[in-house]
Every structure is written in structure tokens, then in C-alpha cells.
Amino acid sequence: MEKQDDLKVLPLLPLRGIVVFPYVIVNLDVGREKSVVALEDAMVHDHKIMLSAQKDPAVDDPTEKDIYEMGTVAEVRQFLKLPGGSMRVLVEGLHRAKIKKVNCLKKYYTAEIVEYKDDTKDNSINMEALIRAVVNQFEEWVKLSKKIPPETLVSVVMIENGGHLCDLIASHMNMKLEDKQELLSLVDPVKRLEKLYTVLSKEMEILNIEKKISDRVRSQMEKIQKEYYLREQLKAIHQELGDKDSMTTEIDEYKEKMSKGKYPETVLNCLQREIKRLERLPASSPETGVIRTYIEWLLALPWSITSHDKLNIKAAERVLEKDHYGLEKVKERILEYLAVRKLSNKIKAPIICLVGPPGVGKTSLASSIAKAMGRKFIRASLGGIRDEAEIRGHRRTYIGALPGRIINGIKNAGSRNPVFLLDEIDKIASDFRGDPSSALLEVLDPEQNNSFSDHYIEIPFDLSQVFWIVTANNIANIPRPLRDRMEMISLPSYTEEEKYQIAHRYLVDKQLAANGLEKKQLQFMPGALQEIIANYTRESGVRELERQIGAVCRKAAKKYLKKIRKKFVLLLKISPTF
């Protein structure tokens, strides 16, 4: 690069958002008054003008600090005045120049510059290697980008001067203003070519990634278009044959279920709206699956289906006595409800909370209550639940959203008045996802649960006919607002006499059947049962007692199969060798 030591003064044209390189011809639209005057002055004298980019294109009246030092001396080839006082000019970049000082005259800027002209005599091996490398990279870039016509590529490849080649290639590339200015600032052609090679390599990486993304998207689009084309063909074939496609068949099934079922008006309106949406969507749309699932849930819920209660008080009492020994207070409360229910249909179902230690029969009692009343029985375990959505469900905007456990249980019951057991309510936890116990306030409030709103269903559902039974081990762990909504019934620990009666009436027969034995093969005398209760169990309930009786039954079954003895009678004590 040959440096001219003499300072030269030229009119200055600050450029916004563009860098003009030497050897490049460009069109410029000039509108600022000072820029127009600077061009007019250049045309009056030798047609030479200094072009330099602004650091910030938004600055309308730039000063010396707002303009890059390195710019290009250009020659004005043509100019055309436009309406409004603006001007369109054709300029050709000649060589680099560095601004030493900017002078602000009354009507335009001038710049004191030092010119740098390329040395055309550099034929070194290093320069030749750089030129070849840059040309190869540029050819690859042109093939990938497809933004430059082939004739331009041919003209660029024919250039032998490294500096000239670098400037011409840089002018054709869509680089950032800062990167172009950095190339313009490098007066050494070798360093300029090295920088350009780095920029080209980076652009090649970006283009390769863009191509991979484009190919992947194109492949997906072709697959979708192919599927759509095949589905349209299949639809046309079905129409030609007079058949219905699967989507139409499903929609007809939904409409048939709507006409046969008893649904509230709000549900029917929602179903009609969703079915219309489904009819408008193509079968390949991901939203069809979401709408289809929602419609099926609305159709499956028992909006108006109730099971008929068995209001025979004596029959219900016999069922409760047969299944459970003791628990008089609970049985009395159930019979009272059935009696009032028989006299008045307007009574609201009670919400009973059975509180007692493990193993006293809370869960099995709830099943017996459903049996005595002739209702469906549903159980939902609440132990360890932390997310409010487990109770209220997820909103349909989420992928894979479903209703909560309450609505799911009602659907499984097939009626809107089952006996619904909420087990282990005192084991509910809470975290950042919400407090499930707060969601249960609406469920277990007789004044509110006639319009329970699940986040997924979004239509109020009447839970007032559900017979709610809640179980807990420790009443202190139940939040007070929730506790106030329930009728507490305490189930105390069993006495030894009660354990004996339960074992004699229920557990022995249950374990004999579970282990494949008959009553004549193994008999438990009262003394044996009392010994097991007194010496082998230490509990409030009867779970361990049942396990011990089961252990005796298994040992008897083993000895029976070994033909040691055909009949066992346990009298007072159990031998350690038994």
C-alpha cells in the first residue's frame, strides 16, 4: 500500500448504513442539505469527494467523532436532482483515505485526508496463496448463497491484484457495517485478505447451518404435503364409493350420542361448538386430537345419570352389621341419612370424616356404606398430593391436559351420586404448584359443590348428590377451614373383645379362603384367637392380627400338603414349632 504524505482537502459526504470500497461503483440517494451542497461542490471542481460511514446512522447532523476515520475517495460519475431537493448520484470508489481533520463550513463538510493507494507489484507466493484461498472460499459461498449472478463471479475471479480482489468481494457480501469498516481500515492487502478469509469461513458455517435447517424444514413440509395429498385422494375415493371417512364417522357418532343422551343446555352448546371446530380442521391438524379428547370427556360424564338409592332401612342395617362389627355411631348416622332421604328428596348428602388409627376399618366401612345404599363406590387416595391440578385438573392450553381426580372418579362411577371416598386427607402436602386442600374447600362445601368447576372441563358440574366420605389418621393435620366443612366421627382403637369378634366373624374365614383351606381342615378355638391377640399383636386396628392368622393358615397348608396331618385344631396355645 502506497501512502501519499501530502494532505488533501475534499468535500466530505457522511454515509448512513453503507461502506463504499475502492474499485466499486454504487448508487447513492442523498437528502441532507449539507451532503447535497458537498456533491455540488465536487461537481464544480474535479468530481472527487470523500466518502466515510457514520458510526451511528441515526445521527442526523454528525460531527468528527461520529464519522469513521478511514473512508474512500470516490469520483462522481453521474448525478440526478430529484423532487424535494434530494439527489441521486453514481460514484466510483478510487482508493482509501484517512481523515485527519473535519472542517465544518457554513453549508457542508470538508475533510483533510491522507490517501492510500494499492501497490500493484506484490507478486509474492504468500499473496498468491491467499488470493487462491479467498477465491475458492468465495466460489463456495456464491454456490451456497445464490445471491450473486455467475457473470459477477467470473469477473471477480479474473482479478489478480489482492487488494482489488478483497475490496470487490467485500462489497458483494452482506456483512455487518462494523465488519466492512474493519476491512476498509486494513491498508495492508495481506492482512485484508486474511481477515476476508476469516469472514468468508464464518459466513460459510452460517450458510451450512441455514441449509441444514432449510433442508429439514423442506423435508417436513414435503411430508405434510404428501400426507395431505394422500388424505385428499383417500377422501375423494371414499366419496366416489359412497363411504364416509373416519373423521366423518366419528363426528356422526358424537352427534348420535348427543341426541340419545341427556345433557344440560350449556354442555350441548359447548359440544356443538367443538364439533363445528372439528369439522373445519383437516385430519392432519394436531388440534384435532385435543378437540376429540375434550368432546369424548364431555360425552362420557354422567351429567344427568343417577343411581337409585336402596331406602330399605332394615336391609341396609343388615348389610352394615354383616360387614363390620361395632362402629355403632357410624352405622347410626348412615341409617339416619337413609331415613331422612326416604322422607325428603331435597336433603343434601352428608360429608363425613372418619378419624382413627390405621387398621380400624375406615376404608372398608366406606365400601360397605356404598353397598348398603346401592350406590357406586369410588376411592381416591390423597396421600402425598402436592399439585392443585390433581384436584381441579389442568387447563386445556397445556399439552396432555386432563381433568382432576374428582371429575375422573365421577366419570368412572358412571353416575353423579356415588359414594366417593377421599382417603388419607391428612397426608396432603403443598408446594409452589398450589395447595390441594384449598381446592377441596369447594368440593366439600355443600353450598358450593353444586357448581364445581374443573379447569379442563370448564363447565360447572353438580357434586351435591355425591355422598362424601373422608378418612384421616390425625385430625390436627387437616386445615381448619376444611375441617369445619365435615362431620367428624371418631373410630377408636379396638378392645381385645372387639378384635376377637372381628377375627372370629370375618378374618378367619377370609384367610382360610385366601389360602385354599376349608373350615374342617383348620379350626381356631377361642383360646387360640385370644392368645394371638394378646401375645402376637400390638396395634389399634386388626391388620397385624389378620397377618398372623394368615401366617397360621399358610403353615397349616404346608403341613397338609406334606401329609403330616389332615386336620388342625388350635386350642389354647400355638407351638413355636407349628
CB 198 within 8 A of CB 204: no
CB 307 within 8 A of CB 378: no
Element (DSSP H or E) covering residue 103: strand 87-104
- pLDDT reported for residue 137: 84
Q: Which class does domain 2-117 fall in?
A: mainly beta
Enumerate residues 6+ apart whose C-beta is below 8 A from 543: 358, 359
- pLDDT reported for residue 575: 47
H helix intervals, 102-147: 125-145
Q: Where does CATH 1.10.8.60 sit in the chain? A: 496-570
CB 366 within 8 A of CB 471: yes
Reduced to 3 states (helix: H, G, I; strand: E, B; else coil), residue 340 is: helix
Domain 496-570, second-level architecture = Orthogonal Bundle (1.10)
Reduced to 3 states (helix: H, G, I; strand: E, B; else coil), residue 277 is: helix
Superfamily of domain 313-490: P-loop containing nucleotide triphosphate hydrolases (3.40.50.300)
Q: Tell me the C-alpha distance between 552 and 524, whole Å.
A: 10
pLDDT in tens, the chain (578 residues): 555 557 888 999 899 889 999 988 999 888 888 888 888 888 888 889 999 999 888 888 888 888 999 999 999 988 888 887 788 899 999 988 999 988 887 788 888 889 888 766 667 788 888 888 888 888 888 888 777 777 777 777 778 788 888 888 888 888 888 888 888 888 888 888 888 888 888 888 888 888 888 888 888 888 878 777 777 777 677 666 655 556 777 888 888 888 888 888 999 999 999 988 888 887 777 788 888 899 999 999 998 888 887 777 888 788 877 777 777 777 787 788 778 877 776 677 778 888 888 877 788 888 888 888 888 999 988 887 888 888 888 888 888 888 989 999 999 998 988 989 998 888 887 766 667 888 888 888 888 888 888 999 989 998 888 888 899 888 888 888 888 888 888 877 777 777 777 787 778 888 888 888 877 777 787 777 777 777 777 777 778 888 888 888 888 888 777 776 666 665 555 545 55
Region for residue 529 given its phi and psi (left: phi exceeds 0; alpha: psi -120 to 50; beta: otherwise):
alpha
Enumerate residues 6+ apart whose C-beta is below 8 A from 220: none
Q: How many CB atoms lie within 10 A of CB 305?
A: 13
For 16, the grid coordinates are 448512513
Q: Tell me the C-alpha distance between 394 and 390, whole Å.
A: 8
What is the residue-wise DSSP string for 526-555?
HHHHHHHHHHH---SSSHHHHHHHHHHHHH
Nearest of 53, 84, 80, 81 to residue 69 by alpha carbon: 53
Phi, psi at residue 383, to the nearest 5°?
-60, 125
- pLDDT reported for residue 420: 92
- pLDDT reported for residue 3: 58
Q: Where does CATH 3.40.50.300 sit in the chain? A: 313-490
Kind of pairing between the strands at 48-53 and 467-472: unpaired
- pLDDT reported for residue 519: 78
Enumerate residues 6+ apart whose C-beta is below 8 A from 467: 349, 350, 369, 370, 373, 375, 417, 418, 419, 420
Query: Which class for 147: exposed (0-12), middle (13-18), buried (19 or more C-beta within 10 A)?
Result: exposed
Reduced to 3 states (helix: H, G, I; strand: E, B; else coil), residue 70 is: strand
Q: Where does CATH 2.30.130.40 sit in the chain? A: 2-117
Enumerate residues 6+ apart whose C-beta is below 8 A from 331: 317, 320, 321, 324
- pLDDT reported for residue 73: 92
- Which residues on adjacent β-strands are paired with residue 54? 67
For 186, the grid coordinates are 486494513
CB 574 within 8 A of CB 531: yes
- pLDDT reported for residue 318: 82
| Torsion from C-alpha of 309, 310, 313, 318, nearest 10 degrees | -130
Place of cell 336402596: 310
- The per-residue pLDDT for range 223-265, each reduced to its tens digit, is 878 777 777 777 677 666 655 556 777 888 888 888 888 888 9
